[in-house]
């Protein structure tokens, strides 16, 4: 059974804090206008670190290697999709689509880990 620690509350609110901080940084430095960098683009690495910490809190292993394997499979899927749909692979389009889909996958996985972590206390 998992043990509750006060630092775990920080990891539960970590995505909200990181998202707001990333949004502030993007707006402050006008990254969207200069480099077309949006808030989710900055948030992904922090979510991956948070997933690692939450998964260690309620189990004996980290989910990080499995998530990285999933990201690699996502990259292969995006390449196959773009090759089929557009009949070519443009690197800019690939990396943008891959990184944004990685954000969606990581935020979904993060919230699933929070739910599993909360349920492990009962």
CA angle 114, 10, 25 (to 5 degrees): 105
Q: Summarize pLDDT for 3-18 with one digit per residue, the tens.
A: 678 888 899 999 999 9
Does some domain include residue 1? Answer: no
Does some domain include residue 96? Answer: yes
pTM of the model: 0.90
Q: Structural domain of residue 97, as residue ranges?
A: 6-119
Please give the tally of structural domains in the chain.
Answer: 1
Cβ-based neighbours of 82, under 8 Å, separated by 6 or more: 88, 89, 90, 93, 94, 97
Q: Summarize pLDDT for 84-95 with one digit per residue, the tens.
A: 999 999 999 999
Q: What is the CA radius of gyration of the chain?
A: 17
Does some domain include residue 58? Answer: yes
């Amino acid at each position: 059974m998992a043990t509750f620690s006060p630092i775990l509350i920080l990891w539960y609110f970590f995505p909200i804090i990181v998202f707001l901080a990333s949004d502030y940084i993007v707006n402050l430095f006008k990254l969207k206008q200069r480099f077309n960098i949006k808030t989710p683009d900055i948030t992904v690495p922090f979510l991956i670190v948070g997933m690692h910490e939450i998964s260690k809190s309620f189990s004996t292993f980290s989910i990080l290697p499995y998530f990285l394997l999933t990201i690699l499979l996502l990259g292969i899927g995006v390449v196959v999709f773009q090759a089929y749909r557009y009949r070519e692979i443009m690197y800019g389009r690939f990396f943008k689509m891959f990184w944004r889909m990685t954000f969606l996958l990581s935020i979904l996985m993060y919230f699933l880990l929070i739910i599993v972590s909360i349920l492990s206390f009962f």
